[in-house]
Amino acid sequence: MPSTIFTAPEYNPERERHRRFVVLAVAVAAFLLGVLGYLYRNWPEEHVAERFFTALSQENYEQAYAIWQHDPAWKQHPEKYSNYRYGDFYGDWGPGGEWGLVKTFHIDGSASPSGGSGVVVVVTINGRNQKARVWVEKKDKTMTFSPY
C-alpha cells in the first residue's frame, strides 16, 4: 500500500529514546560550554597577569616590562614608551616599589567593567591583605595600573 500523509510510520520506541538522548546531550553540552565560557571569559587577560607576576617573582624585571608593554623587543625602541619608561617601571615594581620583592602571588579573580576595554585583575602579593589591581587591555594585552 502506498504511503500518504494519512498513514503514520510505525512507532519505534528505541528510535524515540535515542532521539531524546541526543537532544538532551546536545542541550547539556551547550549549557556546560556556556557556563565554562562565562567562567573563563577573562582567562587570556588573567594569563597575561600571571606571566607578568611570575617574571616579577623571578626578579626578571626586563621580561616583566616586556609583558607590561606587550612588546618583547622593547629594548630596540625604548622611545616608544616615553610615557612609562623602564626606570619608572622598575621603581614601581622593583625591590624598592610599593610591593617590594614579589616572592609569592595569587590571581584572586578578574572583572570586566561595563563599557570598559579591558579587564581588572586582582592579585594577592606576598600574602598581603591589600590587593594589587592591574588593568589588562583586551585588544592588545598591554598592562597598566587599574583605574578602578
The model's pLDDT over 57-111, given as tens digits with 9 standing for 90+, comes to 999 999 999 999 999 999 999 899 999 999 999 999 999 999 999 999 999 999 9
Does residue 3 belong to any structural domain of this protein?
Answer: no
Is the same domain home to 47 and 111?
Answer: yes
Return the SS3 of 129: coil
pLDDT digits (tens, 9 = 90+) for 11-25: 888 889 999 999 999
Is the same domain home to 63 and 13?
Answer: no
pLDDT of residue 116: 84
What is residue 10's DSSP assignment? P
Sequence letter at residue 130: Q
Is the same domain home to 62 and 100?
Answer: yes
pLDDT of residue 104: 96
Is the same domain home to 23 and 81?
Answer: no
Domain count, the chain: 2
Is the same domain home to 32 and 64?
Answer: no
pLDDT digits (tens, 9 = 90+) for 38-51: 999 999 999 999 99
Q: Containing domain of residue 128, as a range?
A: 43-145
pLDDT digits (tens, 9 = 90+) for 123-143: 999 999 999 999 999 999 999
Does residue 126 belong to any structural domain of this protein?
Answer: yes
Is the same domain home to 87 and 27?
Answer: no
pLDDT of residue 131: 95
Distance CA 14, CA 139 (A): 50
Distance CA 24, CA 17 (A): 11
Is the same domain home to 27 and 98?
Answer: no
Q: Where does the pLDDT of residue 3 fall: very low under 50, low under 70, confident under 90, or very high at 90 and above?
A: low
Does residue 2 belong to any structural domain of this protein?
Answer: no
Distance CA 148, CA 89 (A): 20
DSSP3 helix / strand / coil % (the chain, rounded to 5):
45, 15, 40
